[in-house]
Structure 1
Amino acid sequence: MNRDYDAISSADRAQGQGRRCICGHPRVYISTPKSRPRPGHPRHSESVPADHFDVEGCAALSPTLSRSSQRRRPELINENARENSSGSGTQRPESVGTLVQGEPDNGKFDFAHHVRALLNQADDEDIKHRQLSVGFTDLTVQGLGAAAKYQPTIWSIWSPKAIKQGIQQARHPPVKDILSNFNGVVRSGEMLLVLGSPGSGCTTLLKVLANQRQGYHKVIGDVSYDGIDPEYLSAHYRGDVGYAPEDDTHFPSLSVKNTLSVAAKMRTPQNRANNRSRSEFVQNAVQTLATVLGLRHTFDTPVGDESIRGVSGGEKKRVSIAEMLAGRARIGCWDNSTRGLDSSTALEFVRALRIATDVGNTTTIVTIYQAAESLYRLFDKVCVIYEGKQIYFGPADSARQYFMDMGWEPANRQTTADFLVAVTDPLARTPRSGWKDRVPRTAEEFATRWIQSTEGRASREEAHEYMRAPQDHLDKHHQNYKVSARAERADHMSRKSAYTVSIAMQVRAIILRRLQIIRGDMAAPAITVASFVIQALIIGSVFYNLPQATVAYFSRGGVLFFAVFFGALTAMAEIPALYAQRPIVSRHQKAAF
C-alpha cells in the first residue's frame, strides 16, 4: 500500500521552528498521512499538535517518546536522507508510520513515530503481526417484526381472531429484509464510510460485518474474513473484530483510568516488545490513549450517569473510543462514534483512525450521520444505503460524480457526505435541469440503477474476486494468522480460546474492578451497612432478654425470620443494578475482554 507520509505541513514547518507548547515542552504532532494517490483527487497531509487536547499529557509523554526515538534515530535520519536524495514523494513503509521531520531538541516531534518505533521493536524481536479484511457478496439480513403495532385491549388479546393470528405468526413469523443484496470488500489499510438516513440499515451493516448477528432472524449470503468464516472467527478470534456502539454505556462509579485499564489488561499480549511487563504495557497503553484523546485530566473522575456526577458527554464518548482502541481489534466498526463530539474533535478522531489504519494496516468501517468535507476525504471507500438497499459502494472520490451523472444536483456549498445522504431523502434532493423525469425515485430504482452501472459491476466483481481467492493463499494466511494469535495468548491457555489472558488473570482483574466500583460510590454500601446496623438494633431491642423457656420459641423463630428476610430484601435491591450492567458485560464479552 503506497502512501505519502508528511510529519508536519509546510505551514507548520515554516511557522513552528522551535515552537513549544504552553507547558514548555516540545510540541508533539499527530500527522495524517496521505492516502494512495487517486486520479484527480490528491489528498493533502494535515497535522495538529497533540496538546490541542491535553497539554499536561503532552508534557508527560514527551520524555517517553524522546527516549523511544533515540534507538531508531540514526536509521530514520538515513531513511530521510535517502528519500531526499532520490526525490521520491512516496514510499512503501514496512512497519509503517510517519517520518520524523526534525528532532525533539528542535521543538518538533512526530507523535506517530512513537507507534512506528514500537512496531520496529516488535519486528526486531520477530513478533508476528496479523491483518484481517472483510468481503461480502449477496448479503441479505432479515429481521422479525410487523409493519405496524397497535395498543392491545382485552378483546384484541382474547378474541378468536387474535388467537388465530397469534398461532399463524408463531408458525410463520413476519419477516422483513433490513438489508438486501449487498456486495463489497474492505481490505487491510482501507477505511469505509457508511452513509444513510437514520433507519436505513447502517447499524445493521456494521453489526453484521463485526460478526455480531444476535437479534436478527437470518443472515443470507457470504461473509468472509480473509477466508475465515464468521462461525470460526467468533469461536477463536472474537476480539479481533470490534464494534463500538452508538450509546456510551460504562460502569458509572468506575474512574476513567480504571475503565481503560481493564480493557488494556484483558487484551495484553503475551509477546510484548522490549521485554515490558504486563503492568508497563497497560500503563503505556492507557497513558498514550488518554493523551491523544485528551482524557488525562479525567483519570480520577468517575464516568458517571444520571445519578452519579462524572465526565461530560463528549468526554464519555472519548472514553468509549479509547476503550475500543485498547482492544487492538484488526477490524474496527464504529457506529456514529462522533456523536456528542464537536467538529474539530470529530475530525481529530477520524484522523487518529486514519493513522491507526495506515500504521497498523488494520481495517476501519465507520458510520457518520454528519461528516464534514475534510473528514470525508480521509476515507478510501463509501457505501450509501437507501431503505436497506445498496445504491453505491466504491471509491469515496467517485461517489459525488456518480450521483451527479445520474441526474442529481448538489446544493450550493453542500458537502459530499450531505449530498450523498440527501439523495436518499425525497424532500432534500434536487434533480438537475431537464432530468426530472429521468432520475430514479424509489430505493428499488436506485438499487437497480446501481446494479446496472459500470461502477456497480466493478464493485461486485471485486467482491467476487476476493471471495474466489486461491485456497492455498487463504490457507497460508490462516496459518500465519493462527501463529500470531496463539503467540499473544497467555501461557497454559487453550489453543481454541478467543481470549488473550487466562481465566485466573480475568478473575483477578474483575474482582479488582468490582472493588474499584464499590470504592467509587461509597454512599450505597455505607447506606446498606447503616441500614443493617439500625435494623439489628431495632430487632434486638424488640426481642431483647428473651426468657430461657419454651414460651420464647416462637419469638426466637421471629428473630431468625426477620434477620434472613431483611437480608433477602436488601439483596433484591441489587437486581435492577445488575440488569443495568448487563449491556456492559455483554459488550465486553463480545470484545473478548
Structure 2
Amino acid sequence: MAYSSSSSSDRLNARDLERDGNSHDFLMNHSVQSFSWRDLTVSVKDRRTKQPRNLIEKISGSVQQGEFVALMGPSGCGKTTLLNVLARRAASSGATSSGNSYVNGGDIDNAAFGRVTSYVEQEDALIGSLTVRETLKFAADLSLPGSERAERINTLLEAFGIQNQASTLVGTPIRKGLSGGQKRRVSVASQLITCPKILFLDEPTSGLDSTASYEVISYVKKLARANKLIIIASIHQPSTVTFQLFDKLLLLSAGKTCYYGSVKDVPSYFGSIGYPIPTQTNPAEFILDIVSSDFVSDKTMMLEDVQKIQSAWAQSLESSRLAEQSAELTEKGSKRVVVDEASRPGLFSITTSLLHRLLIKSYRDVVAYGIRIVMYMGLAIMMGTVWLRLETEQEYIQPFINAIFFGSAFMSFMAVAYVPAFLEDRATFTKERANGLYGALPFLISNFIVGLPFLFLICLLFSIVSYWLSNFRPTASSFFTWVMWLFLDLLAAESLVVLVTSIFPNFVIALALVAFANGLWMSVGGFLVSPNILNPFWKYVFHYIDYQAYVFQGMMVNEFAGRVYSCASTPGSGAGSAAGSGNGSGCNCMYVTDLADQCQIRGTGVLESYGYATGRTGKWVGILLGIIVGYRVLGYIVLVLRRS
C-alpha cells in the first residue's frame, strides 16, 4: 500500500503514514528496538606535541525506535567524527577508537550492522543526469530482490512528496533540475530503499534555507514515527520550529557531552545549571553560543563556561540515568544480534544495473562523452588539414611519420579529459560501497564495458576525418587496422586514468600525473628518439611498458609495410643514399632499398631504420591487452585496499 500525500500542500499526512506503515512491511523483517553506545572515544596524535589528543571522549547514549536525535555542537566539536563512529565508519585518518555500540542491547557484527543501517552524507550522492524515479530504481536494483522494487519505489515517492517530480532530472551544472530541498529528500529516500532500521544523516539541511530545512526534517520525522526508525542527524543551528521536530538532543563541545536528553527538557535543564534561555530566543542558537569559544573576545571565560557545562552534565542526575539505562539495555540484550540476510542481487545483476545506469548517464550527460567527441573531432579536422593530402614521394615520408605520432600520442594524451568523469563515478561508488551496496569488482567491470562503444565511436569518427584527408594507405584493411590501434590506444590511456585516479582521487593531482605519464610515454615511445639509440635505462625500464610505443609501431607497419615511395632523380649524379651514400642509379633516395635502381623506396626500409619488423601485429596487440588488463587489475586492488 502506498503512503498518501496531499498534493495541494505537498505535506505528508502523518496519520496516513502511520496507518499505512502498520499494514505494509516497509522495513526489513527484523526488529531494532534500541541503539546504544558507551564510552566512545576517538584519539589522534597531535602534530605539534606528538601526544594523543581526544577528538571525542567517553560519549554515551541510547535511542529507542521511532526517535529522532539531533547531534549538535560548534564547528570542530566532533559531530561528524561521532556520527562516523556510530555508523562504524572510519572516524578520521590515523585515529584510534574505543568504546562499544549495541543494537537491542547486544553485540552485532559489522556485516549485520550494515544491513540494518544506512548513511546519508552531507554531499548529495546523486547522479544529476538521472530522473528521480530512476535514482530510486537503481538504488532498489542494487539492494533488493525484484519482487519488492516497484512497490518500494512508489511508496517512497509518495512518502517524500516527490511523486510529481518522478520524471524530473535531478539536475546537472548544464541542465536545471530539482531544488535543494527536493534533492535532499531524494537523497534520504534513496537510502531508505534498503529499509534500514537505523539511519545516519550528516548535515541533511546543509545549504538549505530555513523553509527547505524544515521541509526535509519534517518528512524524515514523520517517516521515523510511522516506521519506527532510529534516526541520528548532525545539524548546525536549526531554526526554532525545525529544532522542535527532534525528540532528543546530543550536544557536544570540544569532544565532550554537554547535554543528552529530550529536546523539550532543554530549557529547564540549562536553567537549572545557571544558563536560562531568554524568552523569544531560539534555544538551539542560544545553547550553541554558550558552548562555543571560537568567535568570542574573552576565550578564557568562555572556556570556563564550557567546562562548567560539561562538568554539570557529568555530575547530573540525567547523566547517571543515561548510564544506568545503557547498562540495563546491555544486560537485557542478547549476547549477539543475528540479522536474517534477505536475498540480495548477485554480481551479474549488480553489474548489469550499474552498466545500465552508466549508459543513461553517458548519453544524457554531455560532459561524460559528448564534449569529448566534439574535442576529438576538432583534433581530427586539425590533423587532416595540417597533413592534407600527403603524397607518396620521399619528402612526404617524414610528414607521414609525424602524422602517425600525432594521431596516436595526442589521442591518448587527450584522455586526461576522462579524469573528471571517472572521479564523479568513483565518488558515487565510494558512497554506495560505504552503505554496503556493492564492491569494487562490479563497479570496474561496468565502468570498463560502458566505455567500449563510446571509445570505438570516437576512434571511428576521428579516423573517418583524419585518415582519408591525410591520404594514409587507401585500403579498407589498413583503415580498420588504424582504427584498431587507436581504439587500443585510447583504451590503455583510459585504463591509466582509472589507475591514477583510484590512487589519487583529487582532480588537480590526477590530471597532473596522467599528463606527466603521457609525456613520459611520448618521450620513450620510439618517435622522438629511435629505439635503436634510446638510452638503455629509459628503454628497458619504460619503453617496453609504454602502450604508445606499441601503437606507434603498429601504425608505422600499417602505413609503410605495403607502400612504395618515389625518389627524386638527379640527372648525371650518382649520389643517392639513406645516409648520404651513392647508389649509382642517378636517384637521390633517403632510404636505400631493393627498389633504389627504380628511383623508389620500399616502405620496409623506413621501418628498418626504426628497428621495426613486420608480422608482429598479434604480439603487439597481445602486449597492449596485457597492459590494459594490468592497469585495470591494479586499479581494482587500489579500490579494494583504499576505502575513501
Q: TM-score, normalised by structure 1?
A: 0.64
Shift of 1:209: 0.9
Task: Name the CA shift for 1:377/1:441 in 2 (closer, same or farther; >3 Å).
Answer: same
Match of 1:203 among 76, 80, 94: 80
Q: Distance in 2 between matches of 1:304 and 1:590?
A: 24
Shift of 1:463: 1.9
Match of 2:35 among 130, 134, 141: 134
Does residue 301 (structure 1) correspond to residue 164 (structure 2)? The answer is: no
The percent identity for this pair of structures is 22
Does residue 489 (structure 1) correspond to residue 343 (structure 2)? The answer is: yes
- Summarize deviations over 1:176-223 as a string: whole Å, max 9, x none: 311111111123232222221222222222121111125341112222
Shift of 1:554: 5.1
Structure 2: gaps (5+ residues) = 438-644
Does residue 280 (structure 1) correspond to residue 150 (structure 2)? The answer is: yes
8 Å CA contact 2:36, 2:105 repeated in 1: no
Shift of 1:228: 6.0
8 Å CA contact 1:268, 1:282 repeated in 2: no
8 Å CA contact 1:304, 1:311 repeated in 2: no
- Write the letter of the residue equivalent to 1:134: F
Q: Distance in 2 between matches of 1:560 and 1:174?
A: 60
SS of the residue corresponding to residue 119 of structure 1 reads: coil
Match of 1:241 among 101, 117, 129: 117
SS of the residue corresponding to residue 113 of structure 1 reads: helix
Aligned to 1:117: 23
8 Å CA contact 1:180, 1:388 repeated in 2: yes
Shift of 1:111: 4.6
8 Å CA contact 1:389, 1:443 repeated in 2: no
8 Å CA contact 1:250, 1:303 repeated in 2: no
8 Å CA contact 2:293, 2:302 repeated in 1: no
Shift of 1:313: 2.7
Q: How many residues align?
A: 430
- Write the letter of the residue equivalent to 1:301: L
Aligned to 2:538: none
- Write the letter of the residue equivalent to 1:130: S
SS of the residue corresponding to residue 139 of structure 1 reads: strand
Shift of 1:564: 2.0
Aligned to 1:35: none
- Write the letter of the residue equivalent to 2:9: H
Relative contact order (C-alpha < 8 Å, sep 6+): which is higher?
Answer: 1
Task: Name the CA shift for 1:570/1:308 in 2 (closer, same or farther; >3 Å).
Answer: farther
Q: Distance in 1 between matches of 2:379 and 2:208?
A: 48
Q: Distance in 2 between matches of 1:252 and 1:29?
A: 27
Aligned to 2:96: 218
Match of 1:177 among 36, 54, 57: 54
Aligned to 2:44: 143
Structure with the higher helix share, 1 or 2: 2
Match of 2:230 among 341, 360, 363: 363
Does residue 514 (structure 1) correspond to residue 358 (structure 2)? The answer is: yes
- Write the letter of the residue equivalent to 2:310: A
8 Å CA contact 1:132, 1:226 repeated in 2: yes
Q: Provide the alpha-carbon RMSD of the alignment.
A: 3.5
Shift of 1:538: 4.3
Aligned to 2:189: 322
8 Å CA contact 1:327, 1:591 repeated in 2: no
- Write the letter of the residue equivalent to 2:151: F
Match of 1:458 among 303, 321, 342: 321
Q: Distance in 1 between matches of 2:56 and 2:378?
A: 59
Aligned to 1:339: 206
- Summarize deviations over 1:10-31 as a string: whole Å, max 9, x none: xxxxxxxxxxxxxxxxxx966x
Task: Name the CA shift for 1:365/1:524 in 2 (closer, same or farther; >3 Å).
Answer: closer
8 Å CA contact 1:264, 1:285 repeated in 2: no
Q: Distance in 2 between matches of 1:542 and 1:346?
A: 58
Aligned to 1:406: 273
Q: Distance in 2 between matches of 1:381 and 1:176?
A: 28
Q: Greater Rg, structure 1 or structure 2?
A: 2
8 Å CA contact 2:136, 2:153 repeated in 1: no
Aligned to 2:491: none
Aligned to 1:392: 259
SS of the residue corresponding to residue 24 of structure 2 reads: helix
8 Å CA contact 2:157, 2:163 repeated in 1: no
Q: Distance in 2 between matches of 1:402 and 1:283?
A: 43
Shift of 1:404: 0.7
- Write the letter of the residue equivalent to 1:247: E
- After the TM superposition, which of the residue ranges 219-228 and 456-465 deviates more from structure 2? 219-228
8 Å CA contact 2:38, 2:60 repeated in 1: yes
Aligned to 1:191: 68
Q: Distance in 1 between matches of 2:14 and 2:180?
A: 32
Shift of 1:260: 2.7
Aligned to 1:583: 427
8 Å CA contact 1:302, 1:311 repeated in 2: yes
Q: TM-score, normalised by structure 2?
A: 0.59
- Summarize deviations over 1:423-477 as a string: whole Å, max 9, x none: 3146999xxxxxxxx999343332222222211111112222233335xx344xx
- After the TM superposition, which of the residue ranges 404-413 and 221-230 deviates more from structure 2? 221-230
SS of the residue corresponding to residue 200 of structure 1 reads: coil
Aligned to 2:177: 310
SS of the residue corresponding to residue 89 of structure 2 reads: coil
Structure 1: gaps (5+ residues) = 1-27, 31-48, 59-96, 100-109, 148-168, 271-276, 430-437, 491-500
Task: Name the CA shift for 1:225/1:279 in 2 (closer, same or farther; >3 Å).
Answer: closer
- 1:551-566 matches, cutoff 5 A: 556-566=400-410
SS of the residue corresponding to residue 332 of structure 2 reads: coil
- Summarize deviations over 1:324-373 as a string: whole Å, max 9, x none: 33342221112221234444443343333333223322211122223344
Task: Name the CA shift for 1:535/1:391 in 2 (closer, same or farther; >3 Å).
Answer: closer
- Summarize deviations over 1:530-588 as a string: whole Å, max 9, x none: 34344334444555666668887655544432232132122221113323443332111
Q: Distance in 2 between matches of 1:143 and 1:535?
A: 51
SS of the residue corresponding to residue 25 of structure 2 reads: helix
Task: Name the CA shift for 1:142/1:269 in 2 (closer, same or farther; >3 Å).
Answer: farther
